[in-house]
Every structure is written in C-alpha cells, then in structure tokens.
Amino acid sequence: MSRVAILDDYQQVALKLADWSSISGRVAVEVFTDTLAEEDQIVQRLQPYEIICAMRERTKFPRSVLERLPNLRFLTTTGMVNRAIDLDCAKERQIVVSGTGGGGNATVEHIWALVMAVSRCIVTEHNNVRDGNPQWQTCIPTGLSGKTLGLIGVGRLGSATAKIAKMFAMKVIGWSPNLTSERAEQAGVEFCPSKEELVKQSDFISIHMVLSESTRHLFGATDLALMKPTAFFINTSRGPLVDEKALLEVLQNKGIAGAGLDVFDQEPLPQDHPLRKLSNVVLSPHNAYVNDTSYEAWWSQTVDNIEKYLEGKPVRVLYKL
C-alpha cells in the first residue's frame, strides 16, 4: 500500500473537500497541519512516503531535499506552477510531478479586500466598536474615486485588478521591467515609463511579479521614500519582492499611510515579528489564493492525480517527459 503525506493542511480540510473513496484501500494517508522550514526536519518527516501532496509553496522541495527522499515517486501540488519544486531534479530522479487547475479569482478578490481594509480603516474601527471605544469614529477613510492605482506587473492578476479599479473610477498606471506601452494598452492600463514615476504618482501600489533573483527586493528603500505620505502599499505576490526591513521602517515612521500584506520574507510570520505590532497595517496569512472554490477544485484534482499515478497514467504533469 502506498503511503501518502498531505502537507501544510492548515485548516484540516484536504480530506473533507474531496471524495477520496476512489483510492481507499490503495493508499494510507497521513495529514500534517504544520510547515517545517528546516531541510533536515522535512527529510526526516517525509522519507517514508511514496506520494506527497504539497499545498502551493509552503514546503520547499529543492534538490537538496529531493535527493534525500529515496521513496518519493509522485509529488502532486495545488496549482499548475510551484517554484518551490526543483522540476529538473525531480525529472532526473524519475519523480512524477503533477499540478491542479481551477481556483477562480481568489487572489484578485483578496487584493481588493486588503485595499478596502486599509483605505477604509476597517480593522481599526472594527476593533474600536468591538472593544467598546467610547469614540464612535476615529479615522477618515480614504476614498478610491479619482485616486491613482499603480501596478507593478500587469499580467493576468494585474490586468484583472485594473478592471476592478476602473469600476471605482480610479486611474490605473502600470510598470514592470518588461512592460511595453502596447501590452499596457491591451490591459487597459496607462503605461508608466519608469518605476520612479509610477511610485511618485500612485495613491495605491500593488505588486504582481514573479519572484526570481532579478526581482528580489525589486521594491526597496529608495522606492518607499518616493511614495506619497498618504499612499498605501499592497503585496499579495511574494514577500522578498520587497525589502521588508525598509518597508517596516517606513511603516514604523508613518512615512506612508499604511500597507496590506499577505506575504512575508518568512512564513509563517514569526510570533515576535514587529509587523504584528503596527497599527497601520492589515495582515493576512498568505491566503490570497485560498477560498472554497479553489480548495474544492485543487483537492478533487489531487485525488484524481493520485489515482491516475497509481494506474500508471499520470495527468497534469508539470515537466516535459
């Protein structure tokens, strides 16, 4: 019987949101609800398993981990892209890697949840009302109409975010290292010739880039210093795209109005991290991609992936055979 490890199931729903009966009796499933960061701990936990189910990029599978998992033959991940898996190494070791599709618009919805939360002081006023603050209103929300949204990255998510911004009568500008005026026009976004110009103009900045060596700390201290003191920064992409130390400093000094952050340099965010103590941030635990629609699709397809692997006919394979 094949041993299956389900990783990082924070909400303990993997076995509830899909019908696993099709592979019942053929696999022994174990669920882990925590994330391990140390490679030695990951290897020690996962060495016995033939099949591993990864939730996005929570647990990393670089070559240094994959080479120490002798029993691993099949790795299935939620989503059709997982940059935490070394696909070249997996292919060399004849480890089949499959993904899952579907998921809807969870991230776009979350982007706007953060925009509205920070701009309208939702968390602050919620806490005031709940905690019995005698001062009935304590801040003035920032309106969206007529404001400028600056998008760093105008791909699928950036384009979808722009469409919603226009429903709020916002001006939308965009920049990325590879963005052209033609592509910006296709996305319905005004092309900005430089990051500096985008930062200076924007009342809200939302970043939508893929993390790589070339984009690490793409948004740094110099950029933060150019932001309007009334501006807000939103990040639902990857923490290291931004210089977190510089962002923390500007937030502590009230150099900008606030930030809505779903991603961080280290996840889960350490309990003693100073971001947890700031009043001008709205924080979420890297769950922009999470909702019932995406989870139901991902876990159902995970079961299908395992079933097809057991039959010797893997589907949704993430590398070219």
Element (H, E) at 128: helix 122-131
Q: First and final CA of the chain: distance in angstroms? A: 26
Q: Is the CB of residue 154 less than 8 Å from the CB of residue 208?
A: yes
CA atoms of 173 and 189, how far apart (whole Å): 5
- pTM over 0.85? The answer is yes
Q: Which residues are catalytic?
A: 238, 267, 286
CA atoms of 95 and 254, how far apart (whole Å): 49
What radius of gyration, in Å, describes the C-alpha atoms of the chain? 22
C-alpha distances (whole Å) from 302 to each of 13, 102, 125, 226 are 13, 12, 41, 45
List per-residue pLDDT tens for the chain, 321 residues long.
999 999 999 999 999 999 999 999 999 999 999 999 899 999 999 999 999 999 989 999 999 999 999 999 999 999 999 999 999 999 999 999 999 997 679 999 999 999 999 999 999 999 999 999 999 999 999 999 999 999 999 999 999 999 999 999 999 999 999 999 999 999 999 999 999 999 999 999 999 999 999 999 999 999 999 999 999 999 999 999 999 999 999 999 999 999 999 999 999 999 999 999 999 999 999 999 999 999 999 999 999 999 999 999 999 999 866
Q: Is the CB of residue 116 less than 8 Å from the CB of residue 88?
A: no
For residue 242, with 0-12 CB atoms within 10 Å meaning exposed, 13-18 middle and 19 or more buried, which class applies? buried
C-alpha distances (whole Å) from 116 to each of 21, 56, 110, 142, 291 are 42, 26, 10, 9, 18
